[in-house]
Structure 1
Amino acid sequence: MRRVAKLSAACIATAALAVTATACGSTSSDNDTNSSSSGDGKGVKIGLAFDVGGRGDRSFNDSAARGADKAKTEFGGGIKELTAKTSDTEADREQRLSDLAQAGYNPVIGVGYAYAASMTKVAAKFPKTSFGIVDSVVDAKNVDSITFTEEQGSYLAGVAAALKSKSKHVGFIGGVDVPLIKKFEAGYVQGVKDTNPKIKVDTQYLSHGSDTSGFASPDKGKEAAQGMLDNGADVVYSAAGSSGNGAIEAVAGKKGAWAIGVDSDQYNIPGLSKYKNSILTSMVKNVDVGVYDFVKSVHSGKPLTGTNTYSLEKNGVSLATSGGFIDDVKAKLDAAKKKIVDGSVKVKTTP
């Protein structure tokens, strides 16, 4: 099942899809990444409009990319990728989606909540193209809104943090203070407090409003995490895109401290391997599954539409167990999950 979230930021203004292709993997919010894989004329032509950070952010965008890559491997075809800038305007996002649709990419996927308004307009202009949006809901006949219950997975992250904290002081870093990231905060804080009401929780956002730089500024993430560590926190959970990589680096520099990753299982991300023994767990959000399901449905001729929510019950969100660092509290985490699934615990979506 799918769920709509609100997490992506804007895409970049591209004069034409035929602009020079560069290697994927840039994590600079100011770099335009246009990478395409030429297909054989068969399969599917997937248009991906990434959030800031793009492929290579080791988190949210990379998860979406895995889903598209899997679909391309199975069905053939090609992928065209465009990556957002923090300076994008609504017109930039609309142009990016329009360019992909005009060039014949189908489906066209907006990776992130920032594409909601632009997709509403563009989907109406290209009724024969199937659009997908991650982390937001667009009410249109040719749009699949892929959403997740981030608050439920974050609740479990909070339980784990509370059980593992020795200082009884933990932290949360959000990329941008938007409703989507507030869901992560709300679930995390509730999970901590339900486990131990006496634990202190520090919260900090890296950017605000339309400024999406908080999703692609590892230096800001590192500084925020260091501040929390200096104040006594020994577990830090980041929901901040590639900015979270900086937070993980800071945590790895303090003995006995733990980082909690997000979106991807960050313990297994090659670029973070030097810090993996400090990554307690990750709140995995299976964006790859949502993207793959959507592309598969388009390939089969029966495009998914409406709002498809991926919940904890459906394993749309979960806690990673890589490293075995939460094995000793597995029974308590399983009990917490059961209460959410059976409705005994209602997880808040706002702090």
Structure 2
Amino acid sequence: MISRRRRLSAATAILMFSAGFAGALGAASAHAEDKAAILLPGSANDQSWNALGYSIVKSLEPHGFKTAYTENVADADEAEAVRDYANQGYNIVLGHSGRFVSAMQQVAPDFPKTQFIAVSGNEGAEPNVMSIDYNNAQFGCQLGLLAAKMSKTHKVGGIYGLQGVPNITAQAGAFRLCATKAGAEVTILYIKDMEDAAQAKEAAFSLIGNGADVLTGKLNAAEAGLVQAAKEKKVYVTGRGFDQTAIAPELVLTNIVEDWPSMIGSTADQVKAGKLFGSFVQYGYDSGKTTGASLKYSADKAFGPAVSEAVAKDVDAMAADFASGKLKVAPTDKDARSGS
């Protein structure tokens, strides 16, 4: 296991007189032993986004991969870090967010047999740079319908970070579109830090003060602040994991539980078989093998005790419509705008 940035030795640097030679050498060694590494923008022990990244690469070990990671990768060091692992024969190099795509595009031509993957990105480059994510619009739409049906004030709210990032636009915009269609007034707020629970809590209090009685959001560690605010003010809320259910079991309606081991594992198996991807691969209800995420209140229940059987049936019917292609949703920046 590698937990810090590897530095090339002087001897290795001398050998790298030819990028083409180094790429060929790295690609050849990649298939002698299947190896996967991930680059993390923060600490692997943050109990949030970067810890998720660490768990993603570890999930590839049952697929036969030796794994490694580098944490706290600065923007300026991304291309070097990507090249470092490719040179060492890693046949899958992951970057934990879409910000790594540019660095991968720089390095990929020198390593044509290495698969580069941006986790939660939204673009790729042929033949071997890809992004993987679940369909945020589909799940955001389900939460919008659920929120509208559970609201007594007909006012609902969403709290997000990273305004303008495509997967945030998809989820927040779809939440607004589908909640509005179901008869609710929607207000969306953005906070500066996805990890700041205090910011999320304050934003939630603001929404509740304006009449919202169902809240949602897509945050990292800050999600706990959103749920805590809902608990204190006794309004319904959705989360991103069972730890949020534990905070307010009577008020959490459901969680979007992301299945990264399934999404990344499916790709890893194909890479081992010799297939490479150069596109954005998105998993959802219409993707077949795995949906990439699911609505779960607990390990064995999709919805919390407050959700009636009739409401649950309506939300499930929406999933079936996405699966059949009957329903499609394509949110815009305007749909995901801040405010009402």
TM-score (norm 1): 0.74
Amino acid in the other structure paired with 2:270: S
290, 295, 318: which one pairs with 2:294? 318
In the alignment, does 2:197 pair up with 1:230?
A: no
1:129-162 Cα deviation digits (max 9, x unpaired): 2211222212131223323321111100111111
Percent identical across equivalent pairs? Answer: 24
Give 1:73's aligned residue: 62
Change (3 A) 1:201 1:319: same
* DSSP-derived class of the 2:102 partner: helix
Give 1:345's aligned residue: 327
Amino acid in the other structure paired with 1:258: Y
Contact 1:119-1:138 within 8 A present in 2 as well: no
Give 1:202's aligned residue: 187
- Distance, in Å, in 2 between the alignment partners of 1:64 and 1:283 is 17
Shift, 1:74, TM fit: 4.0
* DSSP-derived class of the 2:152 partner: coil
Amino acid in the other structure paired with 1:106: N
Give 2:317's aligned residue: 335
Give 1:299's aligned residue: 272
- Distance, in Å, in 2 between the alignment partners of 1:225 and 1:139 is 39
Change (3 A) 1:102 1:82: farther
Change (3 A) 1:307 1:250: same
Corresponding residue pairs, total: 297
* DSSP-derived class of the 2:191 partner: strand
TM-score (norm 2): 0.76
RMSD: 2.8
Give 1:163's aligned residue: 149
Shift, 1:164, TM fit: 1.2
83, 87, 96: which one pairs with 2:81? 96
Change (3 A) 1:44 1:142: same
- Distance, in Å, in 1 between the alignment partners of 2:83 and 2:223 is 31
165, 171, 179: which one pairs with 1:192? 179
Q: Which has the higher contact order (CA 8 A, sep 6+)?
A: 1
Gaps of 5+ in 1: 1-13, 19-41, 208-213
Shift, 1:77, TM fit: 1.9
1:162-205 Cα deviation digits (max 9, x unpaired): 11122222111111112321111111011211211xx2211111
Give 1:5's aligned residue: none
Superposition map of 1:44-83 within 5 A: 44-52=34-42, 54=44, 56-58=46-48, 61=50, 64-83=53-72
- Distance, in Å, in 1 between the alignment partners of 2:295 and 2:229 is 22
In the alignment, does 2:180 pair up with 1:180?
A: no
* DSSP-derived class of the 1:141 partner: coil
- Distance, in Å, in 2 between the alignment partners of 1:104 and 1:275 is 46
- Distance, in Å, in 1 between the alignment partners of 2:180 and 2:113 is 48
Shift, 1:249, TM fit: 2.1
Contact 1:169-1:232 within 8 A present in 2 as well: yes
Structure number with larger C-alpha Rg:
2
Gaps of 5+ in 2: 9-31, 336-340
Change (3 A) 1:61 1:195: farther
- Distance, in Å, in 1 between the alignment partners of 2:7 and 2:261 is 24
108, 114, 136: which one pairs with 1:150? 136
- Distance, in Å, in 1 between the alignment partners of 2:163 and 2:50 is 19
